[in-house]
Structure 1
Amino acid sequence: MKFLLQRIAFYAFTAWAAITINFFIPRMIPGDPVTSLINRYQGQISTEALDSLYVLFGLDKDASMWSQYVDYWGQLFRGDLGLSFTFFPTPVASVLGQSLPWTVALVGITTFASFMIGTFLGVLAGWRRGSWIDGLLPATTFLSSIPYFWLGLIAIALFAGQGSFFPSSGGYEPGLVPSWDGEFISSAIRHSLLPAITILISSVSGWILGMRNMMITVASEDYITVAHAKGLSERRVMVGYAARNALLPNVAGFALSLGFIVGGTLLVEIVFSYPGIGFNLFQAVGSKDYPLMQGVFLVITLSVLVANLIADVAYLVLDPRTRKEG
């Protein structure tokens, strides 16, 4: 319990530091987002109206940076992330609420699939060294060394285009309204296939290599020899003894990867113009949209911290040695 409380306190401090940095960094970027907003709409407004816009977006020139910082924390506690410049006058929370499910669905499913496939193949490759599965490792390692976005560009060039089954961009067909009907769901699935395959191919190798190496290490342990001596079946020794003990690093790694579901494939979403968090961030940077950038970074930061906390708890449950207090 002491260890868990210490970790919670550490992550609370980290969250405060991240949110503080999240507040100051966008304001250090050269440029005036309010002026950019007015120019985009080609509007001519009075000085009083211009000052009101600065106040509305939390950029009041008459207010000190400290008072803006305090106001920002007050907004966060109220669940108010401000108004987006890019999608003005839509609140940032609404923008994130619309894009977050796309990212979670795409990256969440592919992360889980790559973990399961990679772990399974890693168990077989480590237990049956020299088999055909070992022959897959050079190819998967090569593919995993290619950046997500570059693999996405290659996939678009090879498989997308006029008349292709795979769309090159977007999350669904233009003209459709997001809903739970069959036409929209089938369109969304078809648009997600190429980015999902790209992420899966790039990430599965790490799980295979990690599990294979741990299986090789565990296979030389005495308790594996004893299990064989007892006459237990090969499958039971592999799954119940070797794989079970070799799984801990992969489980911890999977818990950490959950935190990167939100922000780990930003460039993939940009390449495919997929309507997720990454594409929102790309739009926000181009428009100097402070509130939207801060909202995206806040979601990414909190998701990573929660995932790290889950990893610590997983270690506590799976490895009794971590429960010992010095």
Structure 2
Amino acid sequence: MNYFLRKLGFYAVALWAALTVNFAIPRMMPGDPVDILLAKLQQRGGTVTPETREAYALLLGGDDSVPLWQQYLDYLRNLLRGELGVSVSYYPAEVSDVISQSIPWTVVLVGLSTVIAACLGVALGAFAGWRPGTWLDSLVPATTLLAAVPYFWLALLLTYVLARVLGWFPMQGGYDVALTPGWDADFVLSAVRYGFLPALTIVLASVGAWLMGMRNMMVSTLSEDYILTAEAKGLRPGRILRNYAARNAVLPSVAGFAISLGFVVSGSVITEQVFSYPGIGSRLLGAVTNNDYALMQGVFLFITLAVLGANLVVDLLYGLIDPRTRARS
């Protein structure tokens, strides 16, 4: 019980520290979101008066007359109420609305791609490590080469070959704009067709790391005494592979998989930008470009909660699965 309480306390402090950093970093960046919003208003023919500026400053939390500590307390108070502020980039939309519209796209795209890459890489890595030197083991350098290729270059290459030359998939977007978003078959098929290239990019770029990690753990596990004991008992190779070697070698991959799922909500900024995909990564890039403090803080908040939550789940599961973890703590 003390182990779990210590873990919960640690992550509570980590959450507070992350929220504090989340509050401080955007305010250390140059630029003022109020000035950016007023400049956009002027470009559209609006009239900017001192009263207008004061109203927008109060709305966006950019009033210099308010002390920083008061802004920090208001920030924490608004978080508890679920109020993330108003986005400058998508004014007058609420930050929560912008994020809620973008996260489903990112979770489906990056989440499914991460699951596919992890399962495929772990399975191939288990077989490659079980029989070192075979043809499957020779594929490891090719997959690590793909992992070393920059995301944007791989995305542009796939776009050129599969979309521009062969014309199999659309080049950009998340769905056919002629369709109305919904759960009908036409829209879902359109979203799948538009999301195939971004998903393929993520899978190809990340499967090599999963394969290499699992393969190396398998090679190390095969030298353990319990593997030799299982072989000496005359157990079938398939049973040794499943119940002894792969079962123990996969533990680090399970931890890495949980942490990777935590980063799913952050999206793949470069991939989404190349394909103009309407995910959270594109929203984050737009927020940084426009010094949109509220949207940046909202996105960072979701990323922080997801990553801390994933790490907490891993630590608690390890405490349940491996009693030695609790004993060392």
TM-score bracket, normalised by the shorter chain, equals: over 0.9
Partner of 2:108: 105
Residue in structure 2 matched with residue 55 of structure 1 by the alignment: 58
- CA 1:16–1:124: 2 relative to 1, 3 Å: same
2:26 — aligned with what? 26
The amino acid of 2:240's aligned partner reads V
Partners of 2:139 and 2:191 in 1: how far apart?
31
Alignment-mate amino acid for residue 2 of structure 1: N
Partner-residue secondary structure (3-state), 2:266? coil
Residue 239 of structure 1 corresponds to: 242
Match of 2:194 among 191, 195, 213: 191
Q: Flag structure 1 segments of 5+ consecutive residues without an equivalent.
A: none
8 Å CA contact 2:213–2:253 kept in 1: the answer is yes
Q: 1:280 deviation in Å?
A: 0.3
Q: Does 1:251 align with 2:241?
A: no
Contact 1:3 1:325 in 2 (8 A): no
Structure 2 distance, partners of 1:142, 1:10, is 38
Q: Distance in 2 between matches of 1:102 and 1:39?
A: 31
Q: Could you tell me how far apart the structure 2 residues matched to 1:7 and 1:208 are? A: 31
Alignment root-mean-square deviation, CA: 1.5
Partner Cα distance (1:264, 1:324) in 2: 37
Q: CA–CA distance in 1 between the matches of 2:182 and 2:267? A: 27
Which amino acid in 2 is paired with 1:38? L
Gaps of 5+ in 2: none
For the pair 1:128 / 2:131, whether they are aligned, the reply is yes
Equivalence map 1:135-146=2 (5 Å): 135-146=138-149
SS in 1 for 2:99: helix
Runs of 4+ in 1 over 3 A off after TM superposition: none
Determine the C-alpha separation between the residues in 1 that align with 2:54 and 2:107.
Answer: 38
Secondary structure at the aligned position of 1:41 is classed as helix
Are the equivalent residues in 1 in contact too, given 2:33–2:62 (CA < 8 A)? no
Match of 2:38 in 1: 38
Q: Normalization by structure 2: what TM-score?
A: 0.95
Q: Output the amino acid matched with 2:85.
A: G
After TM superposition, give the deviation of residue 45 of structure 1 in Å.
2.5
Q: Is the contact between residue 127 and residue 215 of structure 1 (CA under 8 Å) also seen in structure 2? A: yes
Match of 1:285 among 283, 288, 302: 288
Match of 1:149 in 2: 152
Deviations 1:260-290 (A, max 9, x none): 1112522211221111110001111222211
User: 1:200 is matched by which residue type in structure 2?
Assistant: V
Is it true that 1:296 corresponds to 2:276 in the alignment?
A: no
Aligned position for 1:313: 316
Contact 1:281 1:293 in 2 (8 A): yes
Q: TM-score, normalised by structure 1?
A: 0.96
Partner Cα separation in structure 2 for residue 175 and residue 61 of structure 1: 45
In the TM superposition, residue 298 of structure 1 has moved relative to its aligned partner by: 0.8
Aligned pairs, number: 326
Matched, 1:175 2:178: yes
Q: Distance in 2 between matches of 1:280 and 1:203?
A: 23
Query: 1:252–1:314: 8 Å Cα contact kept in structure 2?
Result: no
Deviates more, 1:48-57 or 1:153-162: 153-162
| Per-residue deviation, 1:206 | 1.1
* 1:166-198 per-position Cα deviation (integer Å, ceiling 9, x unaligned): 222111112322100111111100111111011
Q: Which moved more, 1:213-222 or 1:293-302?
A: 213-222
Match of 1:276 among 269, 279, 288: 279
What SS does the aligned partner of 2:277 have?
coil
Deviation at 1:55, TM superposition (A): 0.2
Which residue in the other structure is 1:69 paired with? 72
Q: Which amino acid aligns with 1:21?
A: V
Cα displacement (A) at 1:165 = 2.2
**Distance in structure 2 (CA, Å) of the matches to 1:144 and 1:150:** 12
Residues 1:117 and 2:120 are matched in the alignment: yes
Deviation at 1:149, TM superposition (A): 2.5
Q: What are the residue-to-residue correspondences of 1:10-21 with 2, within 5 Å?
A: 10-21=10-21
Alpha-carbon distance in 2 for matches of 1:26, 1:247: 39
Kindly state the Cα deviation for residue 157 of structure 1 after the two structures are TM-superposed.
2.4
Distance in 1 between residues matched to 2:191 and 2:285, nearest whole Å = 21
Whether the 8 Å contact between 1:148 and 1:265 is mirrored in structure 2 is no
Q: Residue 151 and residue 215 in structure 1: after superposition, are their counterparts in 2 closer, same or farther (change >3 A)?
A: same
